[in-house]
Chain A
Amino acid sequence: MSEEFNCLIVGVGGQGGATLTNVIAEAATRKGLRGRMHETLGMAQRGGSVQVQIRLGSQVYSSFIPPGQADVLIALDPNEALRAADYIGKKTTIIMNTSGILPVSVLMGKDKYPDLNEEISLLKQLGKEVYAYDAYELAKQAGSIRAMSVVLLGSLARLNIAPLTRDELYQAMVDTVPKKYLQENIAAFKAGEKEIEKVLGK
Chain B
Amino acid sequence: MTVIGEEGTTKLLLGNEAIARGAIEAGAHLVTGYPGTPSTEVIETLAAVAKETGMKVQWAVNEKVAVEVATGVAWTGLRAMATMKNAGLNVASDSVLSIAYSGTEGGLIFYVADDPATHAGMAEQDDRLFAKFAALPMLEPSDPQEAKEMVVAAFEISEKNKVPVMLRSTTNTAHMFGNVVFGPVKKLNRTPTYSRDIRRYTKAGPAWCMEQHASLIEKTKKAGKDADEFNRLELTDSKVGVITAGAPWNLLKEAMIRHGLNVSTLKIGVINPLPEEKIRKLLERVDSVLILEELEPLIEDYVLRILGEMGKKVKVYGKIDGTTSPVGEFDQAIVERALGKVLGKNLTPAVDPERQKLIEKAKSLSLRRPITFCAGCPHMGTYLSMLRAMRKLKYSREDVIITGDIGCTILGMNPPFDACWTEVAMGASIGLGNGFERSGIKKPVIAAIGDSTFYHAGIPALIDAVWNQTKIVVAVMDNSIVAMTGHQPTPGSGYTTTGEAAKAVKAEEIARGCGVEHVVVVDPYDVEKATEAFVEALQYNGPSVIVLRRLCAITAIRRKAIGKPLVIDEEKCTGCMTCVKTLSCSALVPVGKKVRINPDVCIGCRICAAVCPVKAIGEGSQHE
Contacts and interface: CB of A to CB of B under 8 A. Distances in A.
A60 B367 contact: no
A126 B358 contact: yes
Interface stretch (A103-111, A151-159, A183-191, A193-201): A103-111
B588 A38 contact: no
B331 A107 contact: no
Contact of B581 (A42, A59, A86, A108): A108
Contacts of A122: 358, 361-362, 365
Contact of B366 (A38, A42, A64, A82): A82
Given A12-B369, A59-B254, A123 B362 contact: yes
Interface string B1-36: 000000000111000000000000000000000000
B176 A36 contact: yes
Interface string A28-66: 110010111111101101111100000000011111101
B577 interface: yes
Given A29-B12, A45-B554, A79-B366, A34 B332 contact: no
Nearest to B580: A107
A88 B333 CA distance: 15
Interface string A122-133: 110110000000
A108 B590 CA distance: 9
B350 to A, nearest CB: 11
Contacts of A34: 179
B358 A106 contact: no
Contacts of A35: 12, 177-179
Given A67-B333, A114-B366, A119-B362, A42 B177 contact: no
Interface in B327-385: 331-333, 349, 355, 358-363, 365-374
A126 B355 contact: yes
B58 interface: no
B369 A49 contact: yes
A47 B374 CA distance: 7
B186 interface: no
Contacts of A67: 332-333, 349
B276 interface: no
Interface in B177-193: 177-179
B415 A126 contact: no
Interface string B163-180: 000000000100111110
Given A67-B332, A103-B368, A47 B586 contact: yes
Interface string A85-104: 11010000000000000111
Interface in B248-276: 249-251, 253-254, 257
Given A61-B253, A67-B332, A122-B358, A36 B367 contact: no
Bin chain B's interface residue count.
Answer: 35 or more
A34 B144 CA distance: 13
Nearest to B254: A61
Nearest to B362: A85
B359 A107 contact: no
A37 B175 CA distance: 8
Given A108-B415, A108-B416, A123-B362, A25 B12 contact: yes
A109 B416 CA distance: 12
B177 A36 contact: yes
Interface string A146-172: 000000000000000000000000000
A89 B600 CA distance: 36
Interface string B554-566: 1000000000000
Contact of B359 (A32, A37, A88, A118): A88
Contacts of A16: none
Given A28-B12, A39-B175, A113-B367, A64 B332 contact: yes
Contacts of B554: 45
Contacts of B588: 107
B177 A37 contact: yes
A71 interface: no
Residue of A106, A107, A125, A126 ringed by the most chain B CB atoms within 10 A: A107
A103 B362 contact: no
Contacts of A83: 363, 366
Contacts of A82: 362-363, 365-366
Contact of B374 (A37, A46, A85): A46
B517 to A, nearest CB: 36
A85 B589 CA distance: 28
Interface string B376-396: 000000000000000000000
Given A38-B172, A68-B349, A107-B588, A45 B374 contact: yes
B332 A62 contact: yes
Contacts of B370: 103-105
B314 interface: no
A149 B359 CA distance: 25
Residue of A43, A60, A83, A123 ringed by the most chain B CB atoms within 10 A: A43
- Closest 8 A/B residue pairs (Cβ): A82-B366, A85-B362, A61-B250, A37-B177, A62-B250, A83-B366, A46-B371, A66-B332
Interface of A: 12, 25, 28-29, 32, 34-40, 42-43, 45-49, 59-64, 66-68, 79-80, 82-83, 85-86, 88, 102-109, 111, 113-114, 118-119, 122-123, 125-126, 145
Given A108-B584, A145-B600, 5 more contacts: A37-B177, A48-B371, A83-B366, A85-B366, A108-B415
14 contacts: A36-B178, A46-B371, A46-B408, A46-B411, A61-B250, A86-B359, A104-B415, A105-B367, A107-B589, A109-B581, A114-B365, A122-B365, A126-B358, A145-B600
